Amino acid sequence: MHTAIEIEIAEEIIIDCAEAEQESNGGYPNLQDSRFWAMLNCYTNYPDAAKLIEEEFGSGRVKELVREGYMKAQDKLDNENELEDLRLQKAAISNLQELLDYLITEARELPHLDHDFRDNSMFEDWSSDIPTFGGDEPRDTSETWSWDETHVLVGSCAGDLEIVPRNETIYCHRCDTPLNPDKTVWLNQNSQTLLYEFLGCEDCAAALGLP
């Protein structure tokens, strides 16, 4: 008879060896292949651990533990393949629509991946890592993830992202108040050393003594 701690350690060794072997061979051969089992016996601690578990519970338990480690490794390999597909998609993004399609795909795929991979979004920081495609940065970027010269990508999360036309309020460059487009003027102030030119409101124009 073996102690509970000895059994626990032996089980962990079997699982770890099976996981390591499956990772090292990239998913081949499969669990039914005799070469996989032969390679397991090359691990230093595996034969003794397998013998201990077989003595306690029979060979069926050894196979269960090997399969558990095998599947852990296979899940990681599958996750890595999913992420590689996402990386290729990211590299090809060239406009807002493609970005929107990508983010929707990522939001759908990542929750099904292993926890370690789910935390490794292709856009690690949604506030700064998402590309933009020309045009000035919107004045108000709350819930705005990307933009081009004519449209912005907005939404509170990946689940409600949409592309909408730019519809920005123009602000006075001097006092920062919203401007009436019909009464917006370019203000110029000349002096011996400076030239100011900016969009401004009528009050600022008057304050500067400008027409």
pLDDT at position 108 is 64
pLDDT band, residue 195 (cuts 50/70/90): very low
Taking only the tens place, the pLDDT of each residue in 9-60 is 999 999 999 999 988 877 666 788 888 888 999 999 999 999 999 999 999 9
pLDDT at position 46 is 95
In the predicted model, what is the mean pLDDT of residues 192-202?
A: 51
| Secondary structure (H, E, C), the chain | CCCHHHHHHHHHHHHHHHHHHHHHCCCCCCCCCHHHHHHHCCCCCHHHHHHHHHHHHCHHHHHHHHHHHHHHHHHHHHHHHHHHHHHHHHHCCCCHHHHHHHHHHHHHHHHHCCHHHHCCCCCCCCCCCCCCECCCCCCCCCCEEEEECCEEEECCCHHHCEEEECCCCCECCCCCCECCHHHCEEEEEECCCCEEEEEECHHHHHHCCCC
pLDDT at position 96 is 92
In the predicted model, what is the mean pLDDT of residues 179-203?
A: 52
